[in-house]
Amino acid sequence: MSHAHKPLDRQVIVITGGSSGIGLATARMAARAGARVVLAARNAEALATIQEEIEAAGGEATHVVADVGRREDVQAIADKAVQRFGGFDTWVNDAGISLYGRLEEVSDEDHDRLFQTNFWGVVYGSLVAAPHLRRHGGAIINLGSIASDMAIPLQGMYSASKHAIRGFTDALRSELEQDLAPVSVTLIKPSAIDTPLPQHARNYLDREPKLPPPVYHPDEVAHAILHAAVYPQRDIIVGGGGRAMTGFKKLAPGTFDRLGAVMAGQQLRSEPPRDPHGSLHRPGQDGHVRGDHPGMVRHTSTYTRAKLHPLTTGAVMAGVGLAAAALMKRRA
């Protein structure tokens, strides 16, 4: 779809995984822009605190305690949005989890739980949201990853789930377009983002995990999500570093595969694991947007902003070019 949706201050936005990380960053940003937000996650205490925070700042919010791996829980999220706000305009499938370990060492139970959250959570959210949005119009926004386009060693099943999300999202978009449904479907593909994902992950390693560089601030993803809620795009890669990595993978896949040992080493800290079980099977310590990445965190991505705002970026670059030309002329 090429047309814009409602402005944010007239939207109701549902966000799964809203108790931490990208989901929480998006909820806060949306509420500041005037949107009414429906938050969903497994952690009841964290959700209640976040709702109170938004309302204390003058926003409107409600929350639903839900496990997105259960379709009935996801349906309850939609029902609450209709009950509280009369419906919704954008549905963001953000809930996700990871695990660190070699594929052959991870239990079937843990692999299954990850897929239930990451993949089936997106499927249930999309299929519950679609009938309502078919009638009223709006956006479905799914959180993939640069791992939708490449594999990350030591996070093999996470990568597989993100590949599956890309396939499902493309198929859903195609079917909705065939029906001329007034629904946009966007896949957001973040690079490494400084969220609590490593701390929440199930960890089979003998060291504390971390994110491979370059790492970006969660607000950069929230900005992309809310842009897509108003101005639909097919997919958005957040972070120029991630775009470079997926481009290299496509250009030289064999060489990229052989760099797996380097990528594996970039995901290990020096200290022993803090919480090996993480929040794969139970709610974790939520309420935090950012993690504790030990390296540099980039607050914005010039690449992503340029893709989202090409006319503005073009005008700025043209202005820079004219200024440079004028300077050269004066010096001459």
- Domains present along the chain, CATH in parentheses: 8-300 (3.40.50.720)
pLDDT score of 3: 67
123 close to 169: Cβ distance less than 8 angstroms:
no
For 266-306, write each residue's pLDDT tens digit: 999 999 999 999 999 999 889 999 999 999 999 999 999 99
Contact partners, residue 115, CB within 8 Å, separation at least 6: 157, 160, 161, 164
Instruction: For residues 72 and 275, give the distance between their C-alpha atoms in angstroms, rounded to a whole number.
Output: 30
Q: In which band, very low, low, confident or very high, does the pLDDT at 18 lie, cut at 50, 70 and 90?
A: very high
**The pTM is what?**
0.91
Residue 317 has pLDDT above 60, yes or no: no
Instruction: For residues 41 and 329, give the distance between their C-alpha atoms in angstroms, rounded to a whole number.
Output: 59
In terms of C-beta density within 10 A (0-12 exposed, 13-18 middle, 19 or more buried), how is residue 317 classed? exposed
Q: In which band, very low, low, confident or very high, does the pLDDT at 248 lie, cut at 50, 70 and 90?
A: confident
Scored b (16 or more CB within 10 A) or e, 187-209 reads: bbbbbbbbbbbbbbbbbbbeebb
Q: Which of 65, 43, 62 is nearest to 52 (CA)?
A: 62
Query: Does the N-terminal peptide bond of residue 273 adopt cis geometry, omega within 30 degrees of 0?
Result: no
Look at strands 192-193 and 297-298 and give their pairing. Answer: unpaired
85 close to 13: Cβ distance less than 8 angstroms:
no
For 251-261, write each residue's pLDDT tens digit: 988 888 887 77
Contact partners, residue 308, CB within 8 Å, separation at least 6: 223, 224, 227, 231, 233, 236
Alpha-carbon separation of residue 59 from 53, 187, 220 (angstroms) = 9, 27, 21
Residues noted as catalytic? 158
